Structure formats: structure tokens, C-alpha cells
Amino acid sequence: MSGLYHLTRKWLAVGIILLFVGTCIIPAMAQDTEKPLPTTRVNTLYVGGSGPGNYTRIQDAVNASTDGDTVYVYDDSSPYQETLSVTHSITLLGENQTTTVIDAIYGYFGVYILADHATMQGFTVLNASWYGIRINASYVTVSQTTVRDCQNEDIYIGETTGPHFIGNLIENDTLSNSLVGILLWRCLNTTIAHNTIFNNSYNGIRIEDSFNNTIIGNRITSSGNAIEEDYGSSNLYTTNLLQNNFCGIYFWAATFDKVIKNTFLDNNRAAYFGTSPLYLLTIILEEFKDHDAFFTSHFHIFGPNVWSQNYWNKPRNLPYPIYGEHVIYLGYWELPYPIIAFDWHPAQEPYDIPGMR
């Protein structure tokens, strides 16, 4: 009888423990199963083609989209004679880069991207009276797109005043027959990579008031200044091919930049740099007075640029000199005097640019 009593007490204790554990686990499980999972609406909207419900105009599909959607544009109805404003974080995808054409018919812009994290790929944009593609947003990607025959810039990212934009990516595009291929203004951490840029009257790539950007692997030919930078700092230029331009690289008030492993071929002038520290100090004080924290916190008045391992039109065993000038402003008078920098380790042969051999 005593053994049965102790056995009964033992099983009773086990039962109480199991009941206690169950009361802890079951509410937790119920909480997990009852908690709704986050849902995202991701749709594909179609433009052109013959599918039921396809849109006729790209802008109508863009207007109907929400963040995360894809607007897929067939080339059947190309050219699409319209201008686009993109205000959602969507993917705008063309069927074919060459044959999916957005003809701005001399509208102010071809495509105006105002939403962060938007993506555009697979189009030709042409005939804008100002900008082919205008980007006023951050973390935007434009790739495998052709922009040509625009009056001013093929691609323009930024604003002359106000907010700055971060983390945009322009890659594998073809830009031509405008004043400027790509213009960055007040941009940070933007990457311009592996683009083909040619026949632009002023600049292939122009950088203004912009910092910590990477320009890598681009081919820029038959333009004014292939690369021009004004009032920038800490930008990296590497493995670009700069050929048959008026000037390969033109820097004015550019500091702490790195120009590394680029190929300079048959330019009227390979490179030039100019500066005026006293004038820059005046600008810094004006920007500080105007509370422009972006410019004043990123621009460095003093700091040499690095020129290294570039190929300068032919093999060289001696350091390659890069000539420039320092300008002192005396009222209405300018007093320039020459300065010089060196590529101490010039390359012995041109660099291969992937996809552009």
C-alpha cells in the first residue's frame, strides 16, 4: 500500500509538471500562429503587347503601381511618345534596350525619377529638350539603358541647392549626342560604372559639389572634357578609358581625389587641375553662413589628389607630370602661376576595360 501511495504521488507530480509546461508553451504557440505575417503587394503591370488588360501608356501603368511593383514595357508599341514621372519605388523594365523607345518629343525631360530605390532598365530615351533622365532621389539604379539626342544632360542626378542624394548607381548605359553625358550635383556615394559615353559637346561625366563617388570602368570618347570635377572631394576615378577628347580629366578645386589605373589615349590634353585656396575659403564661409552642412562637412580645402599607375598615351619609365595652375584673385584681377603634380608610377600598357576591349 505504501508503494502504491508513493507511485501515485510520483505520477501526480509528473502530471503537475507537464500541465505547468503546457500552460507556458501553448500560449506562446498560439501567439506565434495568431500573429499575422507581414504581406507585400508585388505585381507586374504590362504596357504594350497584346495581353488582356495591358496599358497603352507607360505613365498610366506607373500611376497604377505601388512600391515594389514592376512595370514591364513591350517594344511592340514603341516608340512611346511621352514623358514619365516615377513617384513609386518600382522597377521600370523594358523588353529590349534598343527597341523599347521613350521619345520625349522635346518635352522638358524624358524620365523623371523622384522615388528612392527605383530601378530603370532596358530602354532607349531620346529627344528631351533638357534632361533625358532626371533623378531626384537616392538608391536609384539605371542600367542597360541608352540615352541620346537630348539638349542638355543625358542623365542628371541632384539639385543645385537643397537636399543631397546618396547611393545611386548608373551602370552599363550608353549615353551620347548631348551636352553632358552624366551630371552629378550634390551627390554622395554614387557609382558610375562601365558606361559607354561619346559625342557629348561639354563633358562625358561632370561632378559638382559631390563627394565620395566612384567612377569606374567607363569608356568616354570624342567629347569635350571627358571627366570634369568642380568643388568635389574624395572621389575615385579608376580603370576608365578616356580617348579622343579635348581633355581627359579636368579638375577645378578638387581635393583628395584618386586617379588610379586609367587609360589616357589621344586626348588634346591628358589632364589639368586648378585651384584657389583663398577663393575656396570664401566659398566655405558663405556655405557655412547659409547653413549648408552637406558641403561644409564634406569639402576639404587643402589636400592633394593622387595620380597613380595611369597609362599616358605611351609606355613611360619616368614619372608623368600633370600641369595645373594656382589662381590668386585680386579684386577683378587674376594672378595665376603654374603648379605641377606627378604620376610617379605610370603604367607601361593600356588597361583592358571589361566588355570594351
pLDDT per position as a tens digit, 16-61: 333 333 433 333 333 333 333 333 456 999 999 998 999 999 999 9
Calculate the CA 199 to chain-centre distance. Answer: 21
Calpha distance 169→175 (Å, rounded)? 15
User: Mean pLDDT in the chain?
Assistant: 86
Calpha distance 106→109 (Å, rounded)? 8
Mean of the pLDDT values across residues 8-21? 38
Calpha distance 152→132 (Å, rounded)? 8
Calpha distance 52→46 (Å, rounded)? 9
Looking at residue 161, its pLDDT comes to 79
Q: Residue 300's pLDDT band (boundaries 50, 70, 90)? A: confident
- Grid cell, residue 153, equals 544632360
User: For residue 304, is the peptide bond before it cis, meaning its omega torsion is within 30 degrees of 0?
Assistant: no
Residue 353 located in a structural domain: no
Looking at residue 11, its pLDDT comes to 39
Show contacts of 274-278: CB within 8 Å, 24+ apart: 274/324, 274/325, 274/326, 274/327, 274/336, 275/324, 275/326, 275/327, 275/339, 276/326, 276/327, 276/328, 276/329, 277/301, 277/302, 277/326, 278/328, 278/329
Looking at residue 6, its pLDDT comes to 40
Number of domains in the chain: 3
Prediction pTM value: 0.85
Among 40-44, 61-65, 91-95, 114-118, which stretch is predicted with the lowest mean pLDDT? 40-44
Looking at residue 143, its pLDDT comes to 98
Sign of CA dihedral 226, 208, 124, 262: positive
Q: Residue 310's pLDDT band (boundaries 50, 70, 90)? A: very high
Asked if 13 and 76 sit in the same domain, the reply is: no
Residue 98 is classified by DSSP as T
Ramachandran angles phi, psi of 205, nearest 5°: -130, 130
Mean of the pLDDT values across residues 264-287? 83
Looking at residue 284, its pLDDT comes to 67
Residue 356 located in a structural domain: no
Calpha distance 145→238 (Å, rounded)? 22
Asked if 25 and 57 sit in the same domain, the reply is: no
Q: Return the ∠ at Cα 36 (arms to 34 and 42), rounded to 5°.
A: 155
Asked if 168 and 247 sit in the same domain, the reply is: yes
Asked if 277 and 188 sit in the same domain, the reply is: yes
Mean of the pLDDT values across residues 153-169? 92
Calpha distance 7→13 (Å, rounded)? 10
Amino acid of residue 259: V
Looking at residue 162, its pLDDT comes to 77
Looking at residue 72, its pLDDT comes to 98
Alpha helices, H only, the chain: 2-34, 58-64, 277-289, 293-298
Q: How far is CA 349 from CA 77, 277, 333, in A?
A: 47, 36, 43
Calpha distance 140→116 (Å, rounded)? 6
pLDDT surpassing 60 at residue 345: yes
Scanning the structure block, which residue is given the C-alpha cell 547653413?
A: 291
Residue 352 located in a structural domain: no
CA distance from start to end of the chain: 96
Asked if 96 and 182 sit in the same domain, the reply is: no
- Grid cell, residue 183, equals 551630371
Asked if 161 and 281 sit in the same domain, the reply is: yes
Write down which residue in 122, 137, 172 finishes a domain. 122
Residue 45 located in a structural domain: no
- Grid cell, residue 304, equals 592633394
Residue 355 is classified by DSSP as T
Q: Residue 186's pLDDT band (boundaries 50, 70, 90)? A: very high
Burial of 314 (0-12, 13-18, 19+ CB in 10 A): exposed
Count of helices and strands (H, E) across the chain: 4, 33
Q: How many CB atoms lie within 10 A of CB 10?
A: 10
Q: Residue 315's pLDDT band (boundaries 50, 70, 90)? A: very high
Write down which residue in 101, 122, 143 finishes a domain. 122
Calpha distance 202→262 (Å, rounded)? 20
- Grid cell, residue 235, equals 572621389
Higher pLDDT, 142 or 1: 142
Residue 241 located in a structural domain: yes
Calpha distance 185→231 (Å, rounded)? 10
Higher pLDDT, 167 or 298: 167
Asked if 55 and 33 sit in the same domain, the reply is: no
Asked if 212 and 171 sit in the same domain, the reply is: yes
Asked if 28 and 64 sit in the same domain, the reply is: no
Looking at residue 323, its pLDDT comes to 95
Parent domain of 192: 152-343
Mean of the pLDDT values across residues 197-211? 97
Which residues touch 45 (CB under 8 Å, ≥6 apart)? 55, 61, 64, 65, 69, 70, 71, 72
